[in-house]
Structure 1
């Protein structure tokens, strides 16, 4: 019996070590990521984001057909860091920092090292909507967006006796 308890204890230690390895590889807190609702790099956006390549456009460098990103500064389509890292290289070479993923239509700012909320940030809404229509053939569902700054202003403007 004592041997079995020791065996199950060492098995548990191995499982915990494997979990630590998993966390190192995939991130300890995988799951929901809070996207930023503002970004100081929006001035670098292309002036014509109404006309963009289709979501099935391959990487301009290696022709990889998926996991591609659209540079929102120059409209170049390049593959992700999980393929051949061409979008990451593009950012390092050009300092173009904002890109849209054709996989899930998320927007990433390399300079902020963060996702951007394309439905909240006014300058990103049109390109997000265009990409959605090109990918799914219909307009995206609109979500209600909370605006704490507006709610705070409205609360301040209310008479104190209300």
Structure 2
């Protein structure tokens, strides 16, 4: 469960989140490196149909029509802008409790409730939508993940 209060504002925190999960640390917060999580308790909220998504290029924010820095809600598939534009995805997450979203900019996946990036190539429920978004954006399948 997400913390309801934080010692720092959303603008000071990495990503788009609203607080860390209970007892969790920000991985790499001192160095700027953020380690993506390999699991998330909020994946049950994903849309059952993520095999049909809007194209990452040129899909504007549903609310302000801004053309870039947009995120795809993985619960309802609305496309909304990032906190660096007009914060519509952040507002949507807070209003609807839809907490998992995919960035059309870099194809990262963020959980607003956990305040963490999720490893979309490692988490089985996220892999298909990540692969589809990659193909739609780059015209070819993503490279296989490198496991060290």
Tell me which interval the TM-score lies in, with the shorter structure as reference length. 0.7 to 0.9
Per-residue deviation, residues 70-105 of structure 1 (Å, max 9, x unmatched): 000000000000000000000011000000000000
Partner residue, 2:46: 45
TM-score, normalised via structure 2 length: 0.78
What's the TM-score once normalised by structure 1's chain length? 0.72
Q: Secondary structure at the match of 2:130?
A: helix
> What residue in structure 2 maps to residue 55 of structure 1?
56
**Secondary structure in 2 matching 1:104:** coil
Kindly report the root-mean-square deviation, in angstroms, between the aligned alpha carbons of the 2 structures.
Answer: 1.9
CA distance, structure 2, for counterparts of residue 115 and residue 99 of structure 1 = 10
Deviation for aligned residue 1:143: 1.3
Query: Higher Cα Rg: structure 1 or 2?
Result: 1
Partner of 1:103: 105
CA distances 1:114-150 after superposition (whole Å, capped 9, x unpaired): 000000000000000000000000000011446xxxx
Higher helix share: 1
Moved over 6 A (4+): 24-28
Where does the alignment leave 5 or more consecutive residues of structure 1 unmatched?
1-23, 147-162
2:95 paired residue among 64, 73, 93: 93
Instruction: Say whether 1:68 aligns with 2:70.
Output: yes
In the alignment of these two chains, the number of paired residues is 123
Q: 1:41/1:26 Cα in 2 relative to 1: closer, same or farther (>3 Å)? A: closer
- 2: CA distance, partners of 1:140 / 1:29: 30
Unaligned runs of 5+ in 2: 1-10, 15-28
Equivalent residue number for residue 140 of structure 1: 142
User: Which residue is equivalent to 1:7?
Assistant: none
Superposed CA deviations along residues 52-86 of structure 1, whole A, max 9, x for unmatched, are 00102000000000000000000000000000000
